[in-house]
Amino acid sequence: MRSRFRSDRRLTVRMGLTLFLLGLLYVGFVAALIVLLKSWVLVAVLIGALFVAQFWFSDRIAMFAMRGRVVEREEYPELHAVVDRLCAIADLPKPAVAVSAMDMPNAFATGRSPEHAVVCVTTGLLRRLEPAELEGVLAHELSHVRHKDVAVITVASFLGVLAGLVVRFALYSQVFGSGRRDQNTAAVFAAVLGVSAAVYAISFLLIRSLSRYRELAADRAAAHLTGQPSALAAALTKVSGEIARIPTKDLRTAQAFNAFYFTPATGREPGIERFFSTHPTLEQRLEQLGRISAELGEAATPGKAG
């Protein structure tokens, strides 16, 4: 079967540019760490250990946090059937299929490569969506795997995580060790703290910008993959509305993994903070799907639940 998946060169360019810019930041940041710790060996060991932990175990961490578990075909035959069909037409290795026992309707994909990926849906999503809507959501998540942007986001976010840890360490040392430090050492700590804070802020903005674009890219790919952009639009509308009804306190655990979700677990549309959001607004996503629907000559009205 010929693949119906559409590659996205603009996404590839953006991912490459983001990694390049983060790489430049990374060089300066490592230099600051060496100054702080006064040992390049120690810096190499610490960074290597943290990178391996995040890159190789990010999928397990996400699955554990979201109470997801891999399910066999016998347990969820219809879910497996949809994933099988989409993988066949996208020419994609089948990822592990998982289900999270959460009422929040959502889905996410994680994993370091298409060969080591997991696509997880919540029981709340399975209960609320029609078959065509569920197919649209799964196509969206599989598009992330096919684009390999899940791995890129994981790698890109590593620098921000590392910078955040250094900021905390520096602040902790300043508060609890100030009496044992001369002025020169204090100046070094202040410089490292400043560099770390700047690196964290810049990497945060770069990653959020890439994250918003990759969501639009996954929507486009899913719409063309299924040929039903209106079904994906209906799923977006339904899921966003349902999440808005869930109490904020019940969403707090999930919010740490917003970058990986089909829709963010915020319960509301962002205002000015949309510039720092992991996802584009619902309006932007529906607008794009409406244009694709018109291009494909689809009869159904995008954004209206069927």
Catalytic site positions: 141
Question: What strands, in cross-sheet order, belong to the sheet with 107-111?
Answer: 68-70, 96-100, 117-122, 107-111
- Tell which residue, 166, 83, 65, has the closest CA to residue 119: 83
Strand runs labelled E in 52-146: 68-70, 96-100, 107-111, 117-122
- Separation CA 275–CA 17 (nearest Å): 19
Rounded Cα–Cα distance for residues 287 and 84 (Å): 29
Q: CA–CA separation, 169 vs 241, rounded Å?
A: 40
Whether residue 289 contacts residue 277, with contact meaning beta carbons closer than 8 Å, is answered with no
CB 173 within 8 A of CB 189: yes
- Local structure of 279: helix, strand or coil: coil
Check the annotation: does 140 bind a ligand. yes
Dihedral-angle region of residue 91 (phi above 0 means left; psi in -120 to 50 means alpha; beta otherwise):
left
Counting Cβ atoms within 10 Å, is residue 76 exposed (0-12), middle (13-18) or buried (19+)?
middle
For residues 214 and 222, give the distance between their C-alpha atoms in angstroms, rounded to a whole number. 12
Which residues sit in the known binding site for Zn(2+)? 140, 144, 215
